[in-house]
Amino acid sequence: MVEDDIALLKQYQKEIILLSQSVALLHWDLECYMPKEGSESRAEQIALLSRLVHEKMISEELSSVLERLRKRDLQGDDGVMVERVYHDVMKSKKLPPEFVEELSRVTSLASTAWEKAREENDFKLFEPHLKKIVKLKRKEAGYIGLPGHPYNSLLDTYEEGMTVEELKPKLENIKKWILELLSKIKDSESYKNQELAFLKQEFPRQAQIDLNIDVIKRMGLENKFSRLDLSVHPFTTRISQGDVRFTTAIRQDPLFSFLSTIHEAGHGLYEAGLPKENKFTFLDEIPSLGINESQSRFWEIMVAHGKPFWKFYLDRFKEKIEIDNFNQWYKEVNFVKPSLIRIESDEIHYPLHIILRFEIEMGLIDGTIHVEDLPSIWNKKVEELIGITPENNREGVLQDVHWSQGCIGYFPTYTLGSIYAVQIYKALKRRFPEIEEDIEKGDFNKIIFWLRENIHKIGRKKLTKEIIRDVCGEDLNPEEYLLYLNKKYSEIYNLT
């Protein structure tokens, strides 16, 4: 009977999700609290659970129930659920269980090795781990076997349906356009005369933490279902419904931790707002990392880098550091200045950092770039795109955690998310023309409600492209992103 098959399908999903949540909790502990000597045992724990997840995904019983249900032409959430699970099962069946277990083990050990290599500024400590990861990711691309560039099979994991053939021309156009805009900015008198007045002050650690806690409460992230911790690299993970963990990092820059916390809180709000009625099913998930990133970039850039936000929030910063000129502060928040570190980069240089990683990842997967050559290739590309050269690998090729986690194909979603964020903010202003007046008062209620209704509670019932089309009335549109950047920074730097 259909009801029995639906019940069995939901039981499989629940078991897969519970095991996956256990893996997420082990990863979170690894990043935040686990003693370093525990890395080998933790790798074995995660590898075993990952294999169990995979074995459930590819079980013959699950495949049989899916085949029966697909013949029933089910409607509503059940019909969508069947198709989402079928998609994931078919993809999982292409990966041998021993491969999944090995990849999980290798990446768990690599995360610890990356952290040590970064601390000691020694790429050689991480190189053998990254070689294993690249070899395994090439295998994965071969197993998945999507048409076109082999990188497509990895990119699709993070942004379903996106391909190199579609994305590369868009990124090349963005790169060309941004380099032209940067040239105009750097030739301007405003750029030549810009100088930090406020953001060079010392900012006490506890003051940073206090502001982080304050702003996430205002964004609606309550500690009864979320928690904020510290890690080397800020990240967000959802352990379960009602348990969202995110981290930040404390640095000397008065804004780094604050904006990083807002960024991760944007992810956290999305994770917390997923459809509760679809608990323990694959519909209770985010459809892609591009739209996930849109939520963090929306809050970090479209809200927290804007004038309306600082008209409200600046007084809280004045309690911690000396600030006596609003316009100067707003300019410093949005200063264009080359940075070697992606997560410290300004809004203009940021997509160039992503393009650099995208180009390197494609080369690693198609074999035109070798792991041992990465430090020199990285430095050369940074010089070409950003105009400065790393003095060491800590601020160069070792700065990101992603490759140690096997997340090759992930980086492009950051730029996709930035584009989506501009489109979503524009749609929000169409719906609520007065929204920036609300932001000036510190009132984010309409924003939170609108995002929940139009994006968060959809979960994976729709693909990202469908959600963006419904919310924004158009598909992915890099032109809107470029127009936004041009308008904002032409005003800041008095460009003609």
Mean pLDDT over each residue of the chain, to the nearest integer: 95
| Number of other CB atoms surrounding residue 366 within 10 Å | 14
pLDDT digits (tens, 9 = 90+) for 348-365: 999 999 999 999 999 999
Q: How far is CA 250 from CA 16, 109, 120, 332, in A?
A: 35, 25, 19, 19
- Which range among 80-84, 107-111, 317-321 has the greatest average pLDDT? 80-84
Q: How far is CA 214 from CA 31, 64, 204, 345, in A?
A: 24, 51, 16, 24
Rounded Cα–Cα distance for residues 41 and 378 (Å): 33
pLDDT digits (tens, 9 = 90+) for 377-420: 999 999 999 999 999 999 999 999 999 999 999 999 999 999 99
- CB 26 within 8 Å of CB 45: yes
Rounded Cα–Cα distance for residues 221 and 476 (Å): 29
Residue of 264, 271, 285, 347 with catalytic role: 264
- The yes-or-no verdict on residue 267 having pLDDT over 80 is yes
Q: Residue for token digits 């809107």?
A: 480
> What band does 254 get if pLDDT is binned at 50, 70 and 90?
confident
Task: Note the pLDDT of residue 397.
Answer: 98
Pairs from 384-387 (Cβ < 8 Å, separation ≥ 24): 385/175, 385/179, 385/352, 385/353, 385/355, 385/356, 386/338, 386/339, 386/340, 386/349, 386/352, 386/353, 387/338
pLDDT digits (tens, 9 = 90+) for 131-165: 999 999 999 999 999 999 999 999 999 999 999 99
Kindly tell me the sign of the dihedral angle through the C-alpha atoms of 230, 206, 319, 343: negative
User: Is residue 172 annotated as part of the catalytic site, yes or no?
Assistant: no
Question: Which pair of structure tokens corresponds to residue 477?
Answer: 């549109």
Rounded Cα–Cα distance for residues 74 and 291 (Å): 27
- CB 108 within 8 Å of CB 380: no
Question: Which pair of structure tokens corresponds to residue 215?
Answer: 């702003």
Task: Note the pLDDT of residue 232.
Answer: 78
Task: Note the pLDDT of residue 157.
Answer: 96
Task: Note the pLDDT of residue 382.
Answer: 97
* pTM, rounded to two decimals: 0.94
Q: Between 154 and 32, where is the model more confident?
A: 154
Q: Residue for token digits 């993970």?
A: 237
Residue % of the chain over a pLDDT of 90: 91
